[in-house]
Structure 1
Amino acid sequence: MTIASQAQAGILEPIPALGRYLTCQLRVGASPQAVLRALAAQADGEQTMVGLGASLVRELGAEVPGLKAFSGITGARIKLPATPADLWIWLRGSDRGELLIRSRHLETLLAPAFDVQEIVDAFNHDHGKDLTGYEDGTENPEGAEAFAAALVAQGSGAPAGSSFVAVQRWHHHLSRFEAMPRQQQDHTIGRDRESNEELDDAPETAHVKRTAQESFDPEAFVLRRSMPWAEGNAGGLVFTAFGHSFDAFEALLGRMSGAEDGQTDALFTFTEPQTGAYFWCPPMRDGAIDLRAIGL
């Protein structure tokens, strides 16, 4: 059995047409075991993906090596909110009504133990572009390199085929970005918007240069599966990065936030994270989420 076949399939598949993110908290005094077993049986890891927070695993008296709560980056020069949660569900599909029905069903299933605290609807914009018009995830690893970046290998602590995911909801101040001259926009991202070619003359603060994954030691590759969100005329990006640990994400965010060398990523001139949380995505077994590692 390959590592990829053990993983929740949505980690490795392309971004869907539509997504819906549910962030949930365990109710004080509630026992989550029965609810989690029911959720694991229904979640297929492809259309319904599941991540568990460190606080929930701890409440169950279990431990997943490598799992922790997001607490920001030491030395960051910008705000990196930490909004830990117990349970994260990513619904993937192509029909908004169907996603609504599924999420309402899940809310009922979770109700004996969990409160759904936030729901964010997301979508695939212009074949994988951010709302700024720039392609997102250009440098994503592919094939075996994607498996190595995103999935826990056999004998690496956490169960093989599982994954750690960092989730941040970024709010774009789009009017700020729209007010920039085109060259400034390109230099903020570090790419030409039309060709998607990296710009050699972009400043060192350009996002592409700050996050060149191969420039870290060790290399900091993550598998990005981010999706734009919108509500009214506001919008941004649900940044979602899967890794075999949180190390690569923290290296990237450390450099972006100025903790590494005092220079902040030019993205922060028009966008900012409003949430930040870590989750562990269990592997699959016989078509269902495998919770044996946490005693279920």
Structure 2
Amino acid sequence: MQSAILQPVPSHGVYLTLDKLPEVSVLQALHCIQQLELAEQHVIGIGAALLPATATAKIAAFPAMAGPGVTVPSTQADLWIWLRGDEPGPLVVEAQMMAAELSECFDLIQQTQAFKHGSGRDLTGYEDGTENPDGDDAVSAAFVGGVGDGIDGSSCVAVQQWVHDLAAFSLHSQEQKDNMIGRRLADNAEFDAPPSAHVKRTAQEQFEPEAFVLRRSMPWAESAQAGLMFVAFGHSTLAFEQQMQRMAGIDDGIVDALFQFSRPVTGGYYWCPPRSAAGLNWQGLNLTA
């Protein structure tokens, strides 16, 4: 598996999103990726358009969604890379070098710098990922296992950039804020919040099957905008999709209160292949077929 997925959120991160150049074939693009010297602390994911029709590790493109008064956009790209580190400077340099190395096959669509806020909080001040599974449960939630065909140890990741209106959020009372999130800021404890509270909308055990994911989200800020880079790993994309549909009110018409002060502006699914000491394991792509 890509072991960095299980590691705690780093102090700093850079997200790269890239699209294959039109004149480049899928096999050429995958060869370019294969040549990357990706350090173990980083994570890489491949979009559906780069997975050959013969691939056993199929993943669909991110679906756009619409609920009562809200939209969830799809901005599916071909390649996603999460660079992780302790200092922002070296990551920025590494990101530029990596984008240049991939430029023969890929066009850089977006580069976003992120950071750890306090002990791992969203910019609203609330803890992020409180319900993350631990230990073996984290492995079961985040990685494919027992399938064979060269894809055991791979993972599927859902990536969204959310833009917060922190000024609007600040105008609410503490009680109103807690009711939006479903946890008290003071002690991070759940309480009997309204049905629209984010925690109630996304309670992982309420779905069938249970929708457990491993969240590795990080805050971001650029110019006058800021928010959360939502990143959730799963053995498939089903768990995330169930939660997102519930948040958008598609199931029952109740929209997650998160939409009162935040909105997603990107959305993509990526397959994170397993890796060994020799690098990424492409066996699940069946490239020779």
TM range (shorter): over 0.9
Match of 2:41 in 1: 47
- 1:243-269 C-alpha deviation (Å, 9 max, x unpaired): 000110011011100011010000000
Larger deviation, residues 73-82 vs 9-18: 73-82
- Residue 130 of structure 1: how far off its partner (Å): 0.1
Corresponding residue number in structure 2 for 1:169: 161
Partner of 2:190: 198
Residue among 212, 226, 235 paired with 2:217: 226
Q: Structure 1 counterpart of 2:111, which letter?
A: I
Retained in 1: the 8 A contact 2:61–2:269? yes
Which residue number in structure 2 is paired with residue 3 of structure 1?
A: none
CA distance in 2, matches of 1:92, 1:219: 30
Asked if the contact 1:77/1:262 (under 8 Å) is kept, the reply is no
| 1:188 is the counterpart of 2:180 | yes
After TM superposition, where is structure 1 displaced by more than 6 Å over at least 4 residues in a row? none
Q: 1:266 to 1:33 in 2, by over 3 A?
A: closer
Contact 2:67 2:255 in 1 (8 A): no
TM-score, length-scaled by structure 2: 0.94
Residue aligning to 2:77: 85
- For residues 132-163 of structure 1, give each alpha carbon's deviation from its aligned partner in whole angstroms, at most 9, with x where no partner exists: 00000000000011011000012167700000
**Pair 1:77–1:255, CA change in 2 (3 A):** farther
Tell me the alpha carbon deviations over residues 91-135 of structure 1, each in whole angstroms, 9 at most, x when there is no partner. 000111100111111112101100111000000001100000000
Does the CA contact (< 8 Å) of 2:16 and 2:110 recur in 1?
yes
Secondary structure at 2:35 match in 1? helix
How far apart are the structure 1 equivalents of 2:202 and 2:148? 26
How far did 1:81 drift?
0.6
Across the aligned residues of Structure 1 and Structure 2, the Cα RMSD in angstroms comes to 1.6
Residues 54-133 of structure 1: pairs in structure 2 closer than 5 A: 54-58=48-52, 61-73=53-65, 77-133=69-125
Between 1:258-267 and 1:148-157, the stretch displaced more is: 148-157
- Is 1:274 the counterpart of 2:265? The answer is yes
Aligned length: 284
Q: Deviations over 1:179-206 (max 9, x none)?
A: 1111100100011102001122x11100
Unmatched runs of 5 consecutive residues or more in structure 1: 1-6
Structure 1 residues 76 and 55, CA, compared in 2 at 3 Å: closer, same or farther? farther
Q: 1:290 aligns with which of 272, 281, 284?
A: 281
- Say which SS state the counterpart of residue 249 (structure 1) adopts: helix
CA contact (8 A) 2:57 2:284 kept: no
| TM-score, scaled to structure 1 | 0.92
1:135 aligns to 2:127 (yes or no): yes
Please state whether the residue corresponding to 1:79 is helix, strand or coil.
Answer: strand
Query: SS of the counterpart of 2:14?
Result: strand
Give the letter aligned to residue 103 of structure 2.
Answer: A
Q: Tell me, which stretches of 5 or more residues in structure 2 are unaligned?
A: none
Alpha-carbon offset, residue 73 of structure 1: 3.4
- Greater shift in the superposed pair: 130-139 or 175-184: 175-184
The answer to whether residue 239 in structure 2 is matched with residue 248 in structure 1 is yes
3-state SS of the aligned residue for 2:70?
Answer: coil
Give CA-to-partner distance per residue, 1:18-47, whole Å, 9 cap, x none: 0000000000112324312202xx113x32
**In 2, Cα distance between the equivalents of 1:265 and 1:221?**
18
Q: Which residue of 2 aligns with 1:28?
A: 22
Greater shift, 126-135 or 24-33, is seen at 24-33
| Secondary structure at the counterpart of residue 241 of structure 1 | strand
Alignment-derived partner of residue 147 in structure 2? 155
Q: 1:139 to 1:33 in 2, by over 3 A?
A: closer
Q: Which moved more, 1:211-220 or 1:286-295?
A: 286-295
* Contact kept? 2:219, 2:226, Cα under 8 Å: yes
Amino acid at match of 1:88: W
Instruction: Give the conservation status (yes or no) of the 8 Å contact 1:84–1:277.
Output: yes
Q: 1:52 to 1:84 in 2, by over 3 A?
A: same
Q: Contact 1:76/1:254 (CA < 8 Å) preserved in 2?
A: no
The answer to whether residue 203 in structure 2 is matched with residue 212 in structure 1 is yes
Q: 2:6 aligns with which of 2, 6, 12?
A: 12
